[in-house]
Copies of this chain bind each other. A is one copy, B any other.
Amino acid sequence: MSLRLDDQVCFGLYSASRAVTALYRALLEDMDLTYPQYLVMLALWEQDNRLVKELGSELSLDSGTLSPLLKRLAAAGLIERVRQTDDERAVRAALTDKGKALCERAERIPGIIGEAMGLDGDGLARMRTDLDRLTASVNAYRESLA
C-alpha cells in the first residue's frame, strides 16, 4: 500500500502499538490482565489509593473506559473501590493484598519487552522522546481545532 508518508507514519504507529500490545497480551495472560489493566496496576503500584479522576488524567482514559475496567479489577480481587468521605462523588482505587502481591510477577515484563523491541538504551530513550513530542504536537493541533 503506497500511502503518503504522513499516512504511513500513522499506520506505522497503529501497527507498532498493536504489535506491542499483542506481546503484552501474551506476557500478561497468566496474570489475567489486559494491557490497559496492567497500566492501571502499574499506576497503583507506583502510588496506591488513587482517584479515578487521577488515573484517568494519567492514562488519558475517561470514566467510560475506567469505570468498567476498575469494576473488573475489583471483581478479580486486585483492587477495592473506596468512596471518599469528604467528597461523596469521588472514588479511590486501593490495592488489595492480592493486588500488591501481583507486582512481583510483573517484574520480568519490562525486560522482555525491551529485548523484544531490539533497541539499546539510547534507542529506547530517543524513541520515547520522539513519541512524546509527536503526541504533544498532535494533541496541541487537535485542541486548536476546537
Residues on A lying within 8 angstroms of B by beta carbon are: 1-24, 26, 35, 39, 42-43, 46, 58, 60, 109-111, 113-119, 121, 124-125, 127-128, 130-135, 137-139, 141-142, 145
Across the A-B interface, the 7 shortest Cβ-Cβ residue pairs: A12-B131, A6-B114, A116-B141, A118-B137, A17-B17, A4-B110, A6-B110
A17 near B23: Cβ-Cβ < 8 Å: no
Kindly state the separation between the CA atoms of A121 and B117 in the bound complex, as whole angstroms.
25
Interface SS, A side:
helix
In chain B, what residue has the closest Cβ to A35?
Answer: B14
Q: Are A127 and B12 in contact (CB under 8 A)?
A: yes
CA distance A43 to B58 in the complex (A): 35
Cross-interface CB contact of A113 among B6, B19, B23, B39, cutoff 8 Å: B6
Q: Are A135 and B19 in contact (CB under 8 A)?
A: yes
Contact A1 B142 (CB under 8 A): no
Could you tell me if A13 and B20 are in contact, using CB atoms closer than 8 angstroms?
yes
Tell me whether A145 and B10 are in contact in the complex, defined as CB-CB below 8 angstroms, given that A1-B42, A1-B43 are known contacts. Answer: no
A132 and B12 contact, CB distance less than 8 A = yes
Q: Which residue of B lies closest to A107 (CB)?
A: B4
CB distance from A88 to the nearest CB of B (A): 27
Q: B7, B117, B138: which contacts A116 (Cβ < 8 A)? A: B138
